[in-house]
Amino acid sequence: MLVDSHCHLDYLARDGDLADVLTRARNAGVSPMLTISTKLREFDQVRAIAEAEPDVFCSVGAHPHEAGTEPDTTTAQLVELAAHPKAIGIGETGLDYFYEHSPRQVQRDVFRAHIGAARETGLPLIVHTRDAEDDTIAIVEEEMGKGAWPGLIHCFSGSQRLADRMLAAGLYISISGIVTFRKAEELRDVVRSVPLERLLVETDSPYLAPVPKRGKRNEPAFTAHTAAAVAELKGISPEALADATTANFRRLFAKAEF
């Protein structure tokens, strides 16, 4: 069993073949799947997919790209939506200073609102960070000082410094298909250093398809390719990697029943 800890099934559904996508995932041994909310105004669509499938769960949150269009996101609002039995995480949220689709201060404010929801509900926070390591570290460490909360850095592509500081704060590290890319040697070094008990795997589909599927639309079935690459880096079998990452997902996303 492999878990795709981060995918966007609502985006894949727009292509009209979601049933086939889910079948291919299950046939590849990928189940369950966590489909991620990026816009609160579209959360109903994300939730409906999770409600319809026994092995699909969802998160609730607003991506940093959307912080500028949903700047009034509150902890109370997130907590209320997260009460749904299929909602097992908060986010994705965080900081993206690469594209800067939203003002930086708004991103920081909305990030903190999500952290408050993770702290209040005990559900893990799903953090996106790109070109914003200093602020991510500062906010995570400051907010941990106000009261601990569970979480992970999804689609990790940052530095060893970021990984070390996030692990020290208690967060997990989730690895996407980027780890298979030719120029990702620094990331592969980071993966080698992360304790096995703190690793997850994901697709971030429909984006970032791993080698040998690079250039194609990504989908949860391709988790197996990323997991195989991570297993090789850790010097263990794909089966052992699957067992470990599934156990890690169960421990972090304890609300999920499967």
What confidence tens digit (pLDDT) does each residue in 48-101 have? Answer: 999 999 999 999 999 999 999 999 999 999 999 999 999 999 999 999 999 999
Task: Tell me the whole-structure pTM to 2 decimals.
Answer: 0.98
Give the Cβ contact number of residue 91 at 10 Å. 30
The reply to whether 92 sits in an annotated binding site is: yes
Q: Note whether 110 and 62 are within 8 A (CB).
A: yes
> What CATH number is given to the structural domain containing 46?
3.20.20.140
Q: What is the pLDDT of residue 99?
A: 94
What DSSP designation does 14 have? T
Q: Considering its fold, how many domains does the chain have in total? A: 1
Residue 258 lies in a domain: no
Q: Note whether 229 and 222 are within 8 A (CB).
A: no
The reply to whether 154 sits in an annotated binding site is: yes
Spatial distance between the Cα atoms of 17 and 245, rounded to a whole number of angstroms: 28
The reply to whether 6 sits in an annotated binding site is: yes
The reply to whether 128 sits in an annotated binding site is: yes
Residue 142 lies in a domain: yes
> What is the tens place of the pLDDT at every residue in 115-146?
999 999 999 999 999 999 999 999 999 999 99
Residue 190 lies in a domain: yes
Spatial distance between the Cα atoms of 90 and 76, rounded to a whole number of angstroms: 12
